[in-house]
Amino acid sequence: MRSSNSDLLWAKIRLAEGRLNFASNRFWSHPGLAELLPVFLVQLHRVMRGGIDLMRVARERALSMPDDPVAQLIVPYLDQHIVEEQDHDDWLLDDLGTIGISPDEVAAATPLPSVVSLLGAQYFWALNIHPVTVFGYLIVLEGNPPLTEQLEAIRRRTRLPATAFRCLIAHADNDPHHIAELNSTLDTMPLTPEQQKYLALSAFHTIDAVASVFEELLEPSLSSVGSTLDTLYAS
Amino acid sequence: MATKKSAAKKSVAKKAVKTAAKKTVKKSPLKKAAKKKAAPKKSNLERLMAADVISAENAGEHDAATLNKLSSAEVNSLIKIRKKMGAAPLSIQAGSRPNFPV
């Protein structure tokens, strides 16, 4: 029996996800997590805001392909998903405000090279290959949602205020629903072998780039106690 | 007659050049070495196992037909990703993973 598009993509993701799990586990179990977490949230804000722009670009590109059956299925999905995600960066900005990081400071923070790579590659694929590649990015990011109990344990360990976790907790509640929609939308698409290949390459790049974000956050120049945020703003 | 003779000479000369070229090709040590080194093409599953993307114990968990349909770009990308993990074990489960929710 032929595998569905999403089954095939997930089978490929399983081959690479060890890299993300390894880097992610190292970050979330780091003894200096209380200092690292605000910087993580600042970078996460970059990804959230950049992700909305990316989806808009992919939608526009899909709209410009009226004879492409896959592109025609991408447009309504992204129309809906952009609306679902559009205020999340503001929620995160509010959360950051409760731990003393102002919107100006968030805007002044330099995006990590891995964050630029994470999003930048997606623009290339969406504009130069096919906008369906953005599904490789979305499935990896939405496919491993945080668990509320994990976030609660991290909050207790870092002693950061609960208000710093509101946006993350909202994703713990919503992302399982989002991934089901992503999978079912992907399964309706008449993907070519070439498109399946690029979807996988997009997912692999996303895994690698997110793992690199965690690694960069743990680099000595960024993780020295007390200077984490200063370094980010100065760089 | 003179024309026939010169045509025959030309033909002999051509044959000599061809033979010399063949001999040169046969004698080339580079080509011989390349022929010796040419190994049978590995399957994707073999490449992924050799690079420790898939361990021998877990090979049965993966659908060989699906793996062997992967493009070389996908296989290369998986091998690069595995290399970045260094000696870390393959079967790392997500522990406390609130990753990048977008």
Render chain A in DSSP notation, one character per residue.
-PPPHHHHHHHHHHHHHHHHHHHHHHHHT-TTHHHHHHHHHHHHHHHHHHHHHHHHHHHHHHHT-TT-HHHHHHHHHHHHHHHHHTTHHHHHHHHHHTTT--HHHHHHSPPPHHHHHHHHHHHHHHHHT-GGGHHHHHHHHHHSPPPHHHHHHHHHHHT--GGGGHHHHHHHHHHHHHHHHHHHHHHTS---HHHHHHHHHHHHHHHHHHHHHHHHHTSHHHHSTTTHHHHHHH-
Residue of B nearest to A16 (CA): B78
A201–B74 C-beta distance less than 8 A: yes
B94–A25 C-beta distance less than 8 A: yes
Question: Are B6 and B32 part of one and the same domain?
Answer: yes
Q: Does the structure show a pLDDT above 80 at A225?
A: no
Q: Is residue B10 part of a domain?
A: yes
Which of A66-70, A166-170, A213-217, B18-22 shows the lowest mean pLDDT across its residues? Answer: B18-22
Q: Is residue B7 part of a domain?
A: yes
Distance from CA of A14 to the nearest CA of B (A): 10
Question: pLDDT band at A193, cuts 50/70/90?
Answer: very high
Q: Is residue B48 part of a domain?
A: yes
Q: Does the structure show a pLDDT above 60 at B19?
A: no
Question: Are B32 and B58 part of one and the same domain?
Answer: no
Q: Say what the pTM is.
A: 0.83
Q: Is residue B93 part of a domain?
A: no
Q: pLDDT > 90: what percent of chain A?
A: 72
Q: Does the structure show a pLDDT above 90 at B101?
A: no
- Write out pLDDT tens, residues B44-92: 999 999 999 998 887 777 778 888 899 999 999 999 999 999 887 766 6
Domain of B78 in residue numbering reads as: 44-84
Domain total in chain B: 2
Distance from CA of B43 to the nearest CA of A (A): 16
What's the mean pLDDT in A78-96?
90
- Write out pLDDT tens, residues A95-107: 999 999 999 999 9
Question: Are B33 and B59 part of one and the same domain?
Answer: no
Domains, in order of start, for chain A: 36-221 (1.20.910.10)
Q: Is residue B90 part of a domain?
A: no
Chain B touched by A57 (CB under 8 Å): no
Query: What is the per-residue pLDDT for B33?
Result: 56
Chain B touched by A216 (CB under 8 Å): no
Query: What is the per-residue pLDDT for A84?
Result: 87
ipTM: 0.87
Question: Are B7 and B33 part of one and the same domain?
Answer: yes
Nearest to B102 among A47, A201, A205 (CB): A47
Q: Is residue B33 part of a domain?
A: yes
Q: Is residue B80 part of a domain?
A: yes
